[in-house]
């Protein structure tokens, strides 16, 4: 490996080093604060050592990994989201009397898995990354385990994720049978060549991989696990599943099947999934009475929106998908962050009824939640507005009229349940015990920062757009 390759791979090395240090630290001295510091240090080091690969530079690290501008953007997103998850979890776990330190180890591992996915150039790396991410999540979802519902969620995730992994492996095998090698970069070119005698093997293989991708993205019809896992997982992990785990798959998808030159059959499949996700996600969210479940169904719809830009192809697609994902990260981390702060050791804040009138008791927290919800709805002055605008712009540029009109109509349906949350928060309610936030100072600062970023992107999105464009 040449020096360039070493420099490129440094972020992964930092994350792994932090994980090992934490692993060694825990048996020696079990301290909650120390674990947080090590995890944050690892994430910060990873962020600091990210190579500057703007302007189309590519660094190949062994046949397995490839670092390019897109990968750097996604790695930055994952490490930042991981750091926010750690910061939010600190207050949440403070009151937990079980073992807290391993939690951060698992978060670090999950970030490593997601990062490997984003830089994988080979099916082996892909599978390794996906499994590191998934296995960490199996343990994280029921982590401060109190109720059966959490275990149920974890087992459901475990079984379905295992099935999707099986699909992925089978797909890889089929592809290998047809192509004779497993480089991810070659997939699109091979698929595009219809005269290839092995095209059926290749198509079948990639189709099975799409099943796995669809499962992790939670698009219809592979979405069934989402509401239960979101509900069962502790809120910071809900945030992590909603953001990093999905973002990693989006990064993979962009590499596996770059937008624009998809074969016709795959376009139809993705269009169907996008339409179904937008419609089903929004309709199913309408009658939920649990904020976590609403967020789950809304995330299904949002992945449908994201596919609209992906399907549009053209120069804008990758930038639109990435920028939208960035705004989606901020928004979901913020929304789950509020839930985290309101959740106590006994129970999580999730029933919509518990939030009644919260705005008048906890104006700041509720105000932030309203902003986050408005951002999910794509209203102006929040990050969701330029995000959705970028998506729709990409869709219109690609003349995907059916998809963008569906997006417009279904997101109006979606507005209804976002408004329901706002109505509940603003309702005139008698003073009740209701939800009381913990004294999590760290979490509050994190939330304030997220809100600042949300409004900043909402009002002045140019900086982030320009940054993303420079790297893609």
Partner 1 sequence: MILTWLVAIPAGGGLLAWLTGRKNPQGPRWIALGVLVVELAAALMLTARFADRLWSPDQGRWLTTVKIAWIPSFGINFALALDGFSLLLVLLTAVLGIMALASAWTEIKERTGFFYFNLLWVLSGIMGVFLTMDLFLFYFFWEVMLIPMYLIILLWGHANRVYAATKFFLFTQISGLLMLLAILGLYFLHGRATGVYTFDYRELLGTVMSPGIARWLMLGFLAAFVVKLPVVPVHSWLPDAHTEAPTPGSVILAGLLLKTGAYGLVRFAVPLFPEAAASLAPAGMALGVVSILYGALLALGQSDLKRLVAYTSVSHMGFVMLGVFAWNQLALQGVVMQMICHGISTGALFMLVGALQQRLGTRDLKQMGGLWDSMPRMGAVFLLFAMASLGLPGLGNFIAEFLILLGAYQVSVLWAVLAAIGLVAASVYALRMLQASFHGKAVHTWQVPDLALRETAAMTCMVVIIVWLGLFPQWVLNTARGPLQALQKTAVVRTQQTPPGIVRLISQQLAVPPLEGGRP
User: Closest Cα partner for 311 from 275, 267, 278, 280?
Assistant: 267
Binding mask 400-419 for partner 1 (x = CB under 8 A): ----xx--xx-xx--xx--x
Q: If binding is defined by CB under 8 A, does position 324 make contact with partner 1? A: no
Helix (H, G, I), strand (E, B) or coil at 423: helix
User: Closest Cα partner for 392 from 443, 323, 457?
Assistant: 323
Q: If binding is defined by CB under 8 A, does position 470 make contact with partner 1? A: no
Q: If binding is defined by CB under 8 A, does position 385 make contact with partner 1? A: yes
Q: If binding is defined by CB under 8 A, does position 448 make contact with partner 1? A: no
Burial class (CB in 10 A: 0-12, 13-18, 19+), 395: buried
CB of 69 to partner 1, least distance (A): 16
Q: If binding is defined by CB under 8 A, does position 469 make contact with partner 1? A: yes
209: tokens are 């991989």
Binding mask 325-364 for partner 1 (x = CB under 8 A): -----------------------------------x----
Indicate the residue among 118 and 321 with the shorter CB distance to partner 1.
321
CB of 80 to partner 1, least distance (A): 22
Answer for the pair 301, 275: CB distance below 8 angstroms, yes or no: no
User: Closest Cα partner for 219 from 148, 269, 155, 179?
Assistant: 269
Indicate the residue among 253 and 404 with the shorter CB distance to partner 1.
404
Distance CA 242, CA 249 (A): 11
Answer for the pair 227, 297: CB distance below 8 angstroms, yes or no: yes
Choice from 96, 364, 426, 456 touching partner 1 (CB under 8 A): 426
Q: If binding is defined by CB under 8 A, does position 283 make contact with partner 1? A: no
Distance CA 458, CA 383 (A): 4
Choice from 276, 393, 442, 455 touching partner 1 (CB under 8 A): 393
CB of 394 to partner 1, least distance (A): 10
Count of residues near partner 1 by CB under 8 A: 30
Choice from 178, 234, 259, 386 touching partner 1 (CB under 8 A): 386
Given the DSSP bridges, would you call strands 59-61 and 65-67 parallel, antiparallel or unpaired?
Answer: antiparallel
Phi, psi values for residue 21, rounded to 5°: -60, -45
Answer for the pair 139, 237: CB distance below 8 angstroms, yes or no: no
Indicate the residue among 253 and 369 with the shorter CB distance to partner 1.
369
Distance CA 22, CA 323 (A): 33
User: Closest Cα partner for 236 from 44, 91, 56?
Assistant: 91
Binding residues for partner 1 restricted to 153-192, rule: CB under 8 A: none
Q: If binding is defined by CB under 8 A, does position 465 make contact with partner 1? A: yes
Distance CA 349, CA 294 (A): 13
CB of 398 to partner 1, least distance (A): 10
Choice from 149, 423, 441, 448 touching partner 1 (CB under 8 A): 423
Distance CA 47, CA 50 (A): 5
Query: Angle CA(308)–CA(314)–CA(317) in degrees, nearest 5?
Result: 45
CB of 362 to partner 1, least distance (A): 14
Q: If binding is defined by CB under 8 A, does position 396 make contact with partner 1? A: yes
Indicate the residue among 198 and 315 with the shorter CB distance to partner 1.
315
Q: Tell me which residues touch partner 1 (CB under 8 A).
A: 360, 374, 379-381, 385-386, 389, 392-393, 396-397, 404-405, 408-409, 411-412, 415-416, 419, 422-423, 426, 460-462, 465-466, 469
């Amino acid at each position: 490996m040449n020096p360039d390759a070493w420099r490129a791979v440094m972020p992964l090395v930092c994350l792994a080093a932090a994980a090992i240090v934490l692993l060694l630290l825990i048996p020696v001295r079990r301290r909650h604060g120390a674990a947080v510091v090590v995890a944050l240090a690892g994430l910060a080091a990873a962020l600091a050592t990210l190579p500057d690969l703007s302007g189309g530079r590519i660094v190949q690290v062994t046949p397995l990994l490839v670092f390019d501008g897109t990968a750097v953007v996604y790695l930055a997103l994952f490490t930042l989201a991981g750091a926010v998850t750690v910061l939010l979890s600190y207050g949440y776990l403070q009151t937990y009397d079980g073992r807290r330190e391993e939690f951060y180890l698992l978060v670090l591992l999950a970030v490593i898995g997601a990062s490997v996915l984003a830089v994988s150039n080979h099916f082996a790396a892909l599978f390794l990354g996906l499994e590191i991410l998934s296995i960490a999540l199996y343990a994280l979802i029921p982590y401060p385990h109190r109720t059966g519902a959490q275990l149920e969620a974890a087992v459901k995730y475990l079984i379905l994720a295992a099935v999707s992994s099986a699909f992925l492996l089978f797909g890889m095998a089929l592809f290998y049978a047809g192509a004779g090698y497993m480089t991810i970069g070659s997939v699109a070119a091979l698929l595009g060549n219809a005269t290839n005698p092995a095209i059926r093997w290749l198509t079948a293989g990639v189709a099975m991989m799409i099943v796995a991708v669809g499962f992790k993205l939670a698009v219809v019809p592979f979405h069934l696990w989402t509401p239960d896992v979101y509900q069962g997982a502790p809120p910071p992990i809900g945030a992590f599943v909603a953001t990093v785990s999905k973002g990693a798959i989006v990064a993979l998808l962009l590499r596996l099947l770059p937008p624009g030159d998809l074969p016709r059959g795959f376009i139809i499949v993705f269009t169907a999934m996008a339409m179904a996700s937008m419609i089903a996600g929004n309709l199913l969210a309408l009658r939920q009475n649990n904020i976590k479940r609403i967020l789950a169904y809304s995330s299904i719809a949002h992945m449908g929106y994201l596919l609209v830009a992906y399907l549009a192809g053209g120069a804008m697609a990758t930038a639109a998908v990435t920028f939208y994902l960035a705004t989606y990260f901020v928004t979901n981390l913020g929304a789950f962050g509020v839930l985290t702060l309101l959740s106590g050791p006994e129970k999580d804040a999730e029933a919509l009824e518990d939030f009644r009138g919260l705005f008048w008791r906890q104006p700041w927290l509720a105000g932030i939640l309203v902003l986050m919800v408005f951002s999910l709805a794509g209203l102006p002055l929040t990050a969701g507005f330029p995000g959705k605008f970028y998506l729709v712009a990409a869709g219109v540029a690609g003349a995907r009229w059916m998809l963008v009109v569906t997006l417009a109509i279904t997101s109006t349906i979606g507005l209804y349940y976002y408004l329901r949350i706002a109505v509940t928060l603003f309702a005139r309610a008698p003073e009740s015990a209701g939800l009381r936030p913990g004294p999590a100072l760290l979490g509050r600062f994190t939330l304030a920062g997220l809100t600042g970023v949300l409004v900043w992107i909402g009002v002045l999105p140019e900086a982030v757009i320009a940054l993303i464009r420079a790297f893609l």
